[in-house]
């Protein structure tokens, strides 16, 4: 995914605890190990000169968001959820966000 900072100051963002990939009614999030792999991948691209929201983007800047998700072979993604909050779910329930249907 590409992330764009539409705010008025530097912001950091990654797919850990903020994105689910969904196969029908089953949602997949990054495990702790997946998050570490995604961070390694982001660091590699950062060393190549490609900035990413993982390390902070200035206002108006855009960069790739790296994510690693373990989904069983043969399963076909039907949607993804990107939360507007800091976690998919809190003690108050699922946080507001955007559902993207995949076809």
Q: In DSSP terms, which residues pair with 2 in a beta bridge?
A: 64
d(CA 78, CA 75): 9
pLDDT tens per residue, range 1-34:
888 989 999 988 888 888 999 999 999 999 999 9
Which pairs from 95-102 meet CB under 8 Å and 24+ separation? 102/77, 102/78
Q: What is the pTM of this model?
A: 0.78
Region 43-54 average pLDDT = 87
Region 75-80 average pLDDT = 95
């Amino acid at each position: 995914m590409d992330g764009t900072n539409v705010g008025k100051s530097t912001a950091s963002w990654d797919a850990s605890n903020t994105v689910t990939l969904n196969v029908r009614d089953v949602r997949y999030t990054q495990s702790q190990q997946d998050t570490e792999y995604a961070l390694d991948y982001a660091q590699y691209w950062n060393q190549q000169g490609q900035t990413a929201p993982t390390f902070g983007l200035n206002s108006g800047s855009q960069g790739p968001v790296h994510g690693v998700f373990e989904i069983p072979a043969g399963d076909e993604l039907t949607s993804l959820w990107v939360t507007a909050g800091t976690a998919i779910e809190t003690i108050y329930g699922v946080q507001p966000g955007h559902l993207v249907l995949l076809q």
